[in-house]
Every structure is written in C-alpha cells, then in structure tokens.
Amino acid sequence: MRGSVVSIHIVGQATGPPVEVRTAQALPGRGLQGDRYFEKSGTFSDKDGPDRELTLIEIEALEALERDYRVTLQPGAARRQIVTRGVALNHLVGREFQVGEVRLRGIRLCEPCSHLAGLTQPQVLDGLAHRGGLRAQVLSEGTIRTGDEIT
C-alpha cells in the first residue's frame, strides 16, 4: 500500500471553518497541534480515547460523493484533518501505518454524523456511509506534510 497526503486541514473550534495548512505537528495523545481536538474544544471532545487524535478521508470518497450523489464537498468541509489519495483507509483499522515521519494506528471508521450533515448537506450521511474516513491514534511525534507518502 502506498498513498499520499493530498491536503491537511485544521479546525480551531467545534463549528469553525477548516483552514488548509501545508504542515502540521502531530503529538501522541493529543493529535494535530492547533486543531479543535488537540485543544479539547471539538464537538465530541468530552469523549475519552485515542480515536479523536487524528482523522483521515480518501479524496476518492469525496469524488464518489460528487459523482453518485451530486454533492460537491471541498476536502476541508469533510471535517477530516488529512485527505489522502491511493490508500484504502478502511483496511487500516487495527493496523499501524506511516504518514511521512509520523507513525499512526487505525482505530475505527469515521462514519459521517448528523453534525457533519448539519454543517454541509444531509446527503453526506448516505454518500459517505462506510467511506467517511478513519480515526487514528498518533503513536510518534513528528510533522505531517502535504505530499507525504503513506505506507
């Protein structure tokens, strides 16, 4: 498996706008520096566990959403921090993998929720079902960059 990082998005507050960045610092137990879950200000920050540290979504899922449901969702609007290309994220549940210099472990699928539907369009619930991305735990500190290889 070899994929790449298409884009990185940080959201500072629970319903705040996503900001695309070229690099992000990942810290174990915290996630991406500056993000709402790193700061414990995300919508679901009151829930404990490593599955809030980092989220990823495939650009292919967003392309399928547009093709099959006629819903255009910009990568940052998906509310996932890392947008990937060329990697089947669903296959990484329970597995360790590398994004650039950062080691991650896939925890569980990141299914679309009513919060995402409320911020975007209701069709995302069906259009991203089982393709909404991956929740991952950060295992090593480091910088993730746009263009980084995923192995």
Residue 21 identity = V
Percent of the chain with pLDDT over 90: 61
The β-bridge relationship of strands 149-150 and 142-145 is unpaired
CA 105 – CA 86 distance, rounded (Å): 18
The structural domains of the chain, ordered by start, are: 3-150 (2.40.33.20)
User: What CA–CA distance (Å, rounded) separates 80 from 32?
Assistant: 11
Please give the C-alpha separations between residue 82 and each of 9, 68, 107, 111, 136, in angstroms, as whole numbers. Answer: 6, 23, 15, 15, 11
What's the whole-number mean pLDDT along residues 20-48?
83
The highest-confidence range among 29-43, 44-58, 88-102, by mean pLDDT, is 88-102
Contacts of 72 (CB under 8 A, 6+ apart): 66
pLDDT exceeds 90 at position 147: yes
Per-residue confidence band for 45, with pLDDT thresholds at 50, 70 and 90: low
Q: What is the dihedral of CA 97, 98, 99, 100, to 10 degrees?
A: -170
pLDDT higher than threshold 80 for residue 63: yes
- Residue 13: its pLDDT value, please? 77
Q: Which pTM value belongs to this model?
A: 0.90
- In angstroms, the CA 102 to CA 123 distance is 33
